[in-house]
Amino acid sequence: MENVKSATSGTQITLSVEPAVFYDLASLYYTANGTNHDIYPKYDEAKRTCIFSMPTGDTVVYGTFERYIRRIGVSVNIPEGGAVKSSPANTATPEQEVTVDVAINSGYRLIRDREKGFDSFFSLSNEGQINWLNPNRDSFLMPDSNVTLRALFERAYGKGHCR
């Protein structure tokens, strides 16, 4: 909310409200002449603004915010040669720890990513951003977007076999 030093009674006041990440506006009201007046129903969430008429007398505007619990999708690519599982499965909240388990089928191995220096196990956000996960760590903090977990496997050939 922007500070306004003074306004005459009846002036249309526009409040800009910008909740922090993972928070929503819970209430918006002003106090004038010792009485609280709710202005939240007039809040335009798309524009993140609210307009009200300045009352007579000194006025103080208050806003309260509450943390929201947003459920975000966790999907798993089912590759040939193994499996990837997450806990929690299907959904998680932002900043929640997601535990990942990679199971490798007999006769397969994780493909090494020499450039990254570890096995090619990664998550793909809905924005297309690839986040490489270290297989030595079995968890990550859920971002504020859907995630697809993937692992790449290849056939593991024994000695004396050619590909």
> Which pLDDT tens digit goes with each residue over 1-49?
456 678 889 888 888 888 887 788 888 899 988 899 888 667 777 788 8
Any bridge partners for residue 141, and if so which? 97
Task: For residues 39 and 37, give the distance between their C-alpha atoms in angstroms, rounded to a whole number.
Answer: 6
CA dist 37 to 27, 47, 67, 91, Å?
A: 11, 22, 23, 39
Task: For residues 42 and 35, give the distance between their C-alpha atoms in angstroms, rounded to a whole number.
Answer: 18
Mean predicted confidence (pLDDT) in 44-71: 83
Any bridge partners for residue 136, and if so which? none
- Asked whether 2 and 9 are in contact (CB, 8 A), the reply is no
Task: Work out whether strand 82-87 and strand 72-76 pair parallel, antiparallel, or are unpaired.
Answer: unpaired
Instruction: Round the average pLDDT of the chain to a whole number and report it.
Output: 76
Whether the pLDDT of residue 118 is over 50: the answer is no
The predicted-structure confidence for 92-105, as pLDDT tens digits, reads as follows 888 888 887 777 88
> Which amino acid is residue 135, in one-letter code?
P
